[in-house]
């Protein structure tokens, strides 16, 4: 594994993406272990004084942002999913933001699309992104692709990402993401944090 902290002073942000109640619930029996790993990574990033940025997907009442041609989001219209103000769209309490940690709301899949994420990152001169999110084939894939095109140094925490399709998760984390990011486990990341102390 590449030493992700080889340049120790590289401004770094942890992106906690779509860790919302409905999304976390979709992980089924893996939910508790996923949350435990994510909470540990989050605490280590806070202890290391990294910037923490949350990314959530939410729509206004009536889904005015959803075009009928959008297959993914048009399926949720009328179901009440991912609608602002609903408990399911709130960030899960096990990984909830602390005061001063930014929450970015998106209206599409990727963390950069329709958001001010890039503004937040540039304001802090951040060039390295550590990512964890649900789903691997959704927000994580879209964000990796976009961020790689913008020349960020990328780290994906494989076991803090989840997807309903295990094979899709495996292919993305083992075959696709390594072309543009360092893909590591939460344990490897925690060990890397420890080595910096």
**Distance between CA 32 and CA 37 in Å, rounded?**
9
CB-CB contact of 12 with 128 (8 Å): yes
The domain spans of the chain are 12-196
> What is the predicted pLDDT for the residue at 71?
79
70 falls in which pLDDT band (50, 70, 90)? confident
Class at the top of the CATH hierarchy for domain 12-196: alpha beta
**Distance between CA 90 and CA 26 in Å, rounded?**
14
- Cβ neighbours around 187 below 10 Å, total: 13
Report CA Rg, the chain.
16
> What is the predicted pLDDT for the residue at 124?
96
Please give the structure tokens belonging to residue 70. Answer: 């959008």
**Distance between CA 58 and CA 115 in Å, rounded?**
12
Backbone angles phi, psi at 142, to 5 degrees: -60, -40
Q: Is the pTM of this model over 0.85?
A: yes
> What is the predicted pLDDT for the residue at 47?
93
- Cβ neighbours around 85 below 10 Å, total: 9
> What is the predicted pLDDT for the residue at 99?
96
Distances (CA, A) of 67 to 51, 71, 78: 33, 9, 13
């Amino acid at each position: 594994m590449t030493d992700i902290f080889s340049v120790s002073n590289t401004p770094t942000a942890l992106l906690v993406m779509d860790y919302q109640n409905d999304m976390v619930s979709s992980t089924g029996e893996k939910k508790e272990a996923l949350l435990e790993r994510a909470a540990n990574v989050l605490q280590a990033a806070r202890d290391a004084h990294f910037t923490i940025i949350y990314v959530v997907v939410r729509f206004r009442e009536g889904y005015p942002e959803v075009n009928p041609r959008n297959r993914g989001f048009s399926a949720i219209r009328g179901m009440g999913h991912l609608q602002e103000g609903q408990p399911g769209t709130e960030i899960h309490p096990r990984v909830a933001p602390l005061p001063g940690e930014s929450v970015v709301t998106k209206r599409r899949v990727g963390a950069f699309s329709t958001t001010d994420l890039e503004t937040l990152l540039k304001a802090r001169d951040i060039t390295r992104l550590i990512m964890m999110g649900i789903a691997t084939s959704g927000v994580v894939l879209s964000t990796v692709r976009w961020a790689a095109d913008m020349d960020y140094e990328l780290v994906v925490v494989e076991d803090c990402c989840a997807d309903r399709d295990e094979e899709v998760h495996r292919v993305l984390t083992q075959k696709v993401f390594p072309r543009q990011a360092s893909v590591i486990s939460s344990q490897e990341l925690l060990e890397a944090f420890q080595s910096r102390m």
